Structure 1
Protein backbone atom coordinates (compact mmCIF):
# COMPACT_ATOMS: atom_id res chain seq x y z
CA UNK A 1 0.00 0.00 0.00
CA UNK A 2 1.49 3.31 -1.09
CA UNK A 3 1.50 5.84 1.76
CA UNK A 4 4.18 8.26 0.60
CA UNK A 5 4.97 10.00 -2.66
CA UNK A 6 6.83 13.04 -3.92
CA UNK A 7 5.70 15.90 -6.13
CA UNK A 8 8.80 17.85 -7.09
CA UNK A 9 7.32 20.42 -9.47
CA UNK A 10 5.74 23.79 -8.75
CA UNK A 11 2.04 24.39 -9.35
CA UNK A 12 2.64 26.39 -12.54
CA UNK A 13 4.73 23.59 -14.08
CA UNK A 14 2.26 20.89 -13.02
CA UNK A 15 -0.60 22.86 -14.56
CA UNK A 16 1.27 23.22 -17.86
CA UNK A 17 1.90 19.47 -18.06
CA UNK A 18 -1.77 18.65 -17.42
CA UNK A 19 -3.23 21.47 -19.54
CA UNK A 20 -4.86 22.88 -16.42
CA UNK A 21 -5.31 26.20 -14.64
CA UNK A 22 -2.81 26.35 -11.77
CA UNK A 23 -5.22 28.23 -9.48
CA UNK A 24 -4.13 30.43 -6.56
CA UNK A 25 -2.48 27.76 -4.39
CA UNK A 26 1.34 27.84 -4.69
CA UNK A 27 2.48 24.22 -4.38
CA UNK A 28 6.05 23.93 -3.07
CA UNK A 29 7.83 20.72 -4.18
CA UNK A 30 7.77 18.27 -1.29
CA UNK A 31 6.79 14.85 0.06
CA UNK A 32 3.09 14.02 0.28
CA UNK A 33 1.99 11.90 3.23
CA UNK A 34 -1.46 10.91 4.53
CA UNK A 35 -3.31 13.85 6.02
CA UNK A 36 -1.31 16.40 4.05
CA UNK A 37 -2.71 18.77 1.43
CA UNK A 38 -1.55 18.19 -2.14
CA UNK A 39 -2.75 19.40 -5.55
CA UNK A 40 -5.01 17.24 -7.70
CA UNK A 41 -6.30 17.92 -11.21
CA UNK A 42 -10.07 17.99 -11.65
CA UNK A 43 -12.27 18.58 -14.68
CA UNK A 44 -14.55 21.60 -14.36
CA UNK A 45 -17.11 22.98 -16.79
CA UNK A 46 -14.51 25.39 -18.15
CA UNK A 47 -11.58 22.97 -18.24
CA UNK A 48 -9.07 21.33 -15.93
CA UNK A 49 -7.71 23.03 -12.84
CA UNK A 50 -5.48 22.29 -9.85
CA UNK A 51 -7.01 22.33 -6.40
CA UNK A 52 -5.49 21.44 -3.00
CA UNK A 53 -7.04 18.50 -1.13
CA UNK A 54 -6.14 16.37 1.85
CA UNK A 55 -4.85 12.88 1.10
CA UNK A 56 -7.29 10.56 2.85
CA UNK A 57 -11.05 10.19 2.34
CA UNK A 58 -13.05 9.77 5.58
CA UNK A 59 -14.21 6.14 5.97
CA UNK A 60 -17.88 5.07 6.00
CA UNK A 61 -19.76 6.49 9.00
CA UNK A 62 -19.96 3.13 10.79
CA UNK A 63 -16.22 2.58 10.39
CA UNK A 64 -15.50 6.16 11.44
CA UNK A 65 -17.61 5.68 14.58
CA UNK A 66 -15.40 2.72 15.48
CA UNK A 67 -12.23 4.79 15.09
CA UNK A 68 -11.50 3.84 11.49
CA UNK A 69 -8.82 5.79 9.68
CA UNK A 70 -9.20 7.74 6.42
CA UNK A 71 -8.89 5.73 3.20
CA UNK A 72 -5.82 6.58 1.12
CA UNK A 73 -5.80 3.74 -1.43
CA UNK A 74 -8.98 2.49 -3.14
CA UNK A 75 -8.78 -1.20 -4.09
CA UNK A 76 -12.30 -2.67 -3.94
CA UNK A 77 -13.97 -0.98 -6.90
CA UNK A 78 -17.20 -2.92 -6.34
CA UNK A 79 -17.68 -1.65 -2.80
CA UNK A 80 -20.93 0.32 -2.44
CA UNK A 81 -18.88 2.97 -0.64
CA UNK A 82 -16.98 3.73 -3.89
CA UNK A 83 -19.28 2.81 -6.77
CA UNK A 84 -21.27 6.05 -6.78
CA UNK A 85 -18.12 8.16 -6.69
CA UNK A 86 -16.44 6.19 -9.46
CA UNK A 87 -19.46 6.24 -11.75
CA UNK A 88 -19.79 10.03 -11.58
CA UNK A 89 -17.02 11.62 -13.64
CA UNK A 90 -17.10 14.86 -11.67
CA UNK A 91 -15.64 13.00 -8.68
CA UNK A 92 -12.61 11.63 -10.54
CA UNK A 93 -9.27 13.39 -10.49
CA UNK A 94 -5.64 13.06 -11.52
CA UNK A 95 -3.06 12.90 -8.73
CA UNK A 96 0.26 14.39 -9.99
CA UNK A 97 3.35 12.50 -8.82
CA UNK A 98 7.09 12.51 -9.53
CA UNK A 99 7.89 9.34 -7.55
CA UNK A 100 6.19 7.01 -5.08
CA UNK A 101 7.47 4.77 -2.32
CA UNK A 102 6.83 1.21 -1.18
CA UNK A 103 8.51 -0.45 1.80
CA UNK A 104 10.60 -3.54 1.13
CA UNK A 105 12.49 -5.95 3.35
CA UNK A 106 11.64 -7.56 6.67
CA UNK A 107 10.40 -5.89 9.83
CA UNK A 108 13.29 -4.20 11.57
CA UNK A 109 15.31 -3.89 8.36
CA UNK A 110 12.88 -2.28 5.95
CA UNK A 111 14.04 -0.17 3.02
CA UNK A 112 12.28 2.57 1.08
CA UNK A 113 11.95 1.75 -2.63
CA UNK A 114 11.06 4.67 -4.89
CA UNK A 115 9.51 4.27 -8.33
CA UNK A 116 9.39 6.71 -11.24
CA UNK A 117 8.29 6.87 -14.87
CA UNK A 118 11.46 8.20 -16.56
CA UNK A 119 9.67 9.38 -19.70
CA UNK A 120 7.30 11.59 -17.68
CA UNK A 121 8.70 14.33 -15.40
CA UNK A 122 5.33 14.28 -13.63
CA UNK A 123 2.91 11.38 -14.07
CA UNK A 124 -0.54 10.79 -12.61
CA UNK A 125 -2.38 8.29 -10.45
CA UNK A 126 -6.08 7.68 -11.13
CA UNK A 127 -7.81 9.38 -8.23
CA UNK A 128 -11.19 10.25 -6.75
CA UNK A 129 -12.20 13.14 -4.52
CA UNK A 130 -14.87 13.81 -1.94
CA UNK A 131 -16.03 16.75 0.14
CA UNK A 132 -16.78 16.21 3.81
CA UNK A 133 -15.30 18.07 6.78
CA UNK A 134 -12.36 18.85 4.52
CA UNK A 135 -11.86 18.45 0.75
CA UNK A 136 -10.14 15.08 0.36
CA UNK A 137 -8.84 12.62 -2.23
CA UNK A 138 -7.59 9.05 -2.57
CA UNK A 139 -6.14 7.11 -5.48
CA UNK A 140 -6.90 3.72 -6.95
CA UNK A 141 -4.64 0.69 -6.65
CA UNK A 142 -4.42 -2.54 -8.62
CA UNK A 143 -2.33 -5.70 -8.77
CA UNK A 144 1.39 -4.84 -8.89
CA UNK A 145 3.54 -5.24 -11.97
CA UNK A 146 6.66 -7.45 -11.62
CA UNK A 147 8.93 -4.53 -10.68
CA UNK A 148 6.74 -3.34 -7.81
CA UNK A 149 5.76 -6.89 -6.79
CA UNK A 150 9.42 -7.69 -6.11
CA UNK A 151 9.16 -5.14 -3.28
CA UNK A 152 5.47 -5.10 -2.39
CA UNK A 153 3.37 -7.98 -3.74
CA UNK A 154 -0.10 -6.77 -2.73
CA UNK A 155 -0.83 -3.70 -4.86
CA UNK A 156 0.48 -0.63 -6.66
CA UNK A 157 -1.09 2.73 -7.56
CA UNK A 158 -2.97 2.94 -10.86
CA UNK A 159 -0.64 4.97 -13.08
CA UNK A 160 -2.24 6.50 -16.15
CA UNK A 161 -0.66 7.10 -19.54
CA UNK A 162 -0.85 10.80 -20.52
CA UNK A 163 -3.18 10.01 -23.41
CA UNK A 164 -5.61 8.44 -20.94
CA UNK A 165 -5.94 11.46 -18.65
CA UNK A 166 -8.99 12.74 -20.49
CA UNK A 167 -10.60 9.31 -20.50
CA UNK A 168 -10.18 8.95 -16.75
CA UNK A 169 -11.74 12.36 -16.14
CA UNK A 170 -14.63 12.16 -18.59
CA UNK A 171 -15.38 8.62 -19.83
CA UNK A 172 -18.25 6.53 -18.50
CA UNK A 173 -17.29 4.03 -15.83
CA UNK A 174 -17.40 0.99 -18.14
CA UNK A 175 -14.62 2.56 -20.22
CA UNK A 176 -12.69 4.21 -17.38
CA UNK A 177 -12.54 0.96 -15.41
CA UNK A 178 -10.48 -0.53 -18.23
CA UNK A 179 -7.68 1.87 -17.24
CA UNK A 180 -7.36 0.20 -13.82
CA UNK A 181 -4.45 -2.11 -14.58
CA UNK A 182 -0.76 -2.46 -13.70
CA UNK A 183 1.55 0.00 -15.43
CA UNK A 184 4.25 -1.78 -17.50
CA UNK A 185 7.45 -2.49 -15.57
CA UNK A 186 9.59 -1.67 -18.60
CA UNK A 187 8.36 1.94 -18.52
CA UNK A 188 9.35 2.42 -14.87
CA UNK A 189 12.57 2.77 -12.88
CA UNK A 190 13.30 2.06 -9.24
CA UNK A 191 15.77 3.30 -6.62
CA UNK A 192 16.28 3.01 -2.86
CA UNK A 193 16.37 6.79 -2.41
CA UNK A 194 13.84 9.38 -3.56
CA UNK A 195 14.43 10.70 -7.06
CA UNK A 196 14.05 14.49 -7.17
CA UNK A 197 13.40 16.35 -10.38
CA UNK A 198 13.94 20.05 -10.75
Structure 2
Protein backbone atom coordinates (compact mmCIF):
# COMPACT_ATOMS: atom_id res chain seq x y z
CA UNK A 1 0.00 0.00 0.00
CA UNK A 2 1.39 3.42 -0.97
CA UNK A 3 1.75 5.96 1.81
CA UNK A 4 0.64 9.47 0.94
CA UNK A 5 2.80 12.24 2.38
CA UNK A 6 1.29 14.77 4.76
CA UNK A 7 3.27 17.93 4.05
CA UNK A 8 1.76 19.45 7.17
CA UNK A 9 -0.15 22.55 7.98
CA UNK A 10 1.46 25.52 9.66
CA UNK A 11 -1.77 27.41 10.31
CA UNK A 12 -4.68 26.16 12.42
CA UNK A 13 -7.88 27.98 11.50
CA UNK A 14 -10.68 25.40 11.55
CA UNK A 15 -10.61 24.28 15.18
CA UNK A 16 -13.76 22.20 14.72
CA UNK A 17 -11.85 19.95 12.30
CA UNK A 18 -11.35 16.35 13.40
CA UNK A 19 -7.69 16.82 12.45
CA UNK A 20 -7.08 19.55 15.05
CA UNK A 21 -9.66 18.89 17.77
CA UNK A 22 -7.54 16.27 19.61
CA UNK A 23 -4.64 18.75 19.85
CA UNK A 24 -6.39 21.79 21.33
CA UNK A 25 -5.97 20.80 24.99
CA UNK A 26 -3.42 22.70 27.13
CA UNK A 27 -0.88 19.86 26.83
CA UNK A 28 -0.43 20.68 23.11
CA UNK A 29 -0.46 24.47 23.38
CA UNK A 30 2.60 26.70 23.27
CA UNK A 31 3.56 30.35 23.01
CA UNK A 32 5.87 31.88 20.41
CA UNK A 33 7.32 35.21 21.54
CA UNK A 34 7.90 37.99 19.01
CA UNK A 35 8.58 41.69 18.75
CA UNK A 36 7.74 41.87 15.01
CA UNK A 37 6.39 39.51 12.34
CA UNK A 38 5.86 39.50 8.60
CA UNK A 39 3.23 38.44 6.13
CA UNK A 40 3.80 38.01 2.39
CA UNK A 41 2.43 40.97 0.49
CA UNK A 42 3.07 43.91 -1.80
CA UNK A 43 4.53 47.22 -0.71
CA UNK A 44 3.13 50.63 -1.70
CA UNK A 45 4.94 50.38 -5.07
CA UNK A 46 3.32 46.99 -5.78
CA UNK A 47 6.55 45.02 -5.34
CA UNK A 48 6.17 41.59 -3.71
CA UNK A 49 8.03 41.38 -0.40
CA UNK A 50 7.51 40.51 3.24
CA UNK A 51 5.53 43.21 5.03
CA UNK A 52 6.63 43.58 8.66
CA UNK A 53 4.31 44.42 11.56
CA UNK A 54 4.93 45.56 15.11
CA UNK A 55 2.64 46.40 18.00
CA UNK A 56 1.82 50.09 18.37
CA UNK A 57 2.70 51.94 21.55
CA UNK A 58 5.61 53.61 23.30
CA UNK A 59 7.74 50.51 23.87
CA UNK A 60 10.39 50.28 21.12
CA UNK A 61 10.48 46.46 21.38
CA UNK A 62 6.98 45.42 22.50
CA UNK A 63 6.75 41.74 23.32
CA UNK A 64 3.70 39.69 22.35
CA UNK A 65 3.01 36.00 21.74
CA UNK A 66 1.51 33.89 18.97
CA UNK A 67 -0.83 31.13 20.17
CA UNK A 68 0.63 27.87 18.91
CA UNK A 69 0.13 24.11 18.81
CA UNK A 70 3.18 21.90 19.35
CA UNK A 71 2.96 18.13 18.86
CA UNK A 72 5.91 16.17 20.16
CA UNK A 73 6.85 12.83 18.67
CA UNK A 74 4.31 12.96 15.83
CA UNK A 75 4.68 9.93 13.54
CA UNK A 76 3.85 10.20 9.85
CA UNK A 77 5.23 10.62 6.36
CA UNK A 78 6.20 14.20 5.57
CA UNK A 79 8.28 13.34 2.48
CA UNK A 80 8.18 10.15 0.38
CA UNK A 81 12.00 10.03 0.21
CA UNK A 82 12.25 10.18 4.02
CA UNK A 83 9.42 7.72 4.70
CA UNK A 84 7.81 7.21 8.07
CA UNK A 85 9.45 9.33 10.76
CA UNK A 86 8.76 10.64 14.24
CA UNK A 87 9.26 14.39 14.56
CA UNK A 88 8.01 17.41 16.45
CA UNK A 89 5.52 19.53 14.49
CA UNK A 90 4.21 23.02 15.13
CA UNK A 91 1.43 25.28 13.89
CA UNK A 92 0.10 28.78 14.60
CA UNK A 93 -3.52 29.39 15.57
CA UNK A 94 -4.96 31.86 13.05
CA UNK A 95 -8.10 33.94 12.69
CA UNK A 96 -9.61 36.53 10.37
CA UNK A 97 -7.27 39.52 9.94
CA UNK A 98 -7.56 42.92 11.57
CA UNK A 99 -7.42 46.05 9.39
CA UNK A 100 -3.62 46.32 9.24
CA UNK A 101 -2.90 42.69 8.37
CA UNK A 102 -6.00 42.43 6.16
CA UNK A 103 -4.62 45.17 3.91
CA UNK A 104 -1.71 42.82 3.09
CA UNK A 105 -3.05 39.33 3.75
CA UNK A 106 -6.88 39.32 3.58
CA UNK A 107 -7.32 35.63 4.42
CA UNK A 108 -5.97 35.33 7.97
CA UNK A 109 -3.58 36.48 10.66
CA UNK A 110 -1.97 34.73 13.62
CA UNK A 111 -3.74 34.89 16.97
CA UNK A 112 -1.74 37.41 19.01
CA UNK A 113 -1.77 37.44 22.80
CA UNK A 114 -0.64 40.61 24.58
CA UNK A 115 -2.16 40.42 28.07
CA UNK A 116 -1.09 38.17 30.98
CA UNK A 117 -4.64 36.81 31.41
CA UNK A 118 -4.78 35.85 27.70
CA UNK A 119 -1.43 34.09 27.95
CA UNK A 120 -2.52 32.21 31.07
CA UNK A 121 -5.83 31.20 29.47
CA UNK A 122 -4.09 29.92 26.32
CA UNK A 123 -1.68 27.81 28.32
CA UNK A 124 -4.07 26.38 30.91
CA UNK A 125 -7.79 26.96 30.28
CA UNK A 126 -10.11 24.30 28.84
CA UNK A 127 -10.77 24.73 25.11
CA UNK A 128 -14.30 25.99 25.83
CA UNK A 129 -12.67 29.10 27.35
CA UNK A 130 -9.43 29.31 25.32
CA UNK A 131 -11.28 29.25 21.98
CA UNK A 132 -12.48 32.81 22.64
CA UNK A 133 -8.87 33.89 22.11
CA UNK A 134 -9.16 32.95 18.43
CA UNK A 135 -9.94 36.51 17.35
CA UNK A 136 -8.02 39.25 15.55
CA UNK A 137 -6.03 41.84 17.45
CA UNK A 138 -8.03 45.07 17.59
CA UNK A 139 -7.70 47.42 14.60
CA UNK A 140 -4.95 49.96 15.22
CA UNK A 141 -2.92 47.65 17.51
CA UNK A 142 -0.34 46.96 14.77
CA UNK A 143 1.69 49.14 12.44
CA UNK A 144 3.78 48.43 9.34
CA UNK A 145 7.53 48.72 9.71
Q: TM-score, normalised by structure 2?
A: 0.78
1:109 and 1:116 map into 2 onto residues whose CA distance is 21
Quote how far apart the aligned CAs of 1:89 are. Answer: 1.1
Report what 2:4 is aligned to. Answer: 66
1:148 and 1:117 map into 2 onto residues whose CA distance is 12
2:63, 2:114 within 8 Å by CA — same for their partners in 1? no
Report what 2:54 is aligned to. Answer: 116
Report what 1:90 is aligned to. Answer: 27
Matched, 1:135 2:72: no
The one of the two structures with greater contact order (alpha-carbon pairs below 8 A, sep at least 6) is: 2
Runs of 4+ in structure 1 deviating by more than 6 angstroms, as ranges, are: none
Quote how far apart the aligned CAs of 1:109 are. Answer: 3.3
Alignment of 1:102-181 (within 5 A): 102-105=39-42, 109-119=47-57, 121-131=62-72, 132=74, 133-163=86-116, 164-181=118-135
Quote how far apart the aligned CAs of 1:140 are. Answer: 0.5
2:11 and 2:37 map into 1 onto residues whose CA distance is 13
- What is the SS of the residue equivalent to 1:175? helix
Q: TM-score, normalised by structure 1?
A: 0.58
Q: How many pairs are equivalent?
A: 125
2:42, 2:51 within 8 Å by CA — same for their partners in 1? no
Q: Which runs of 5+ in 1 are unaligned?
A: 1-64, 192-198
- What is the SS of the residue equivalent to 2:140? helix
- Structure with bigger helix share is 1
Taking only aligned residues, the RMSD between alpha carbons, in angstroms, comes to 1.9
Which of the pair has more CA radius of gyration? 2
Q: Which runs of 5+ in 2 are unaligned?
A: 75-85
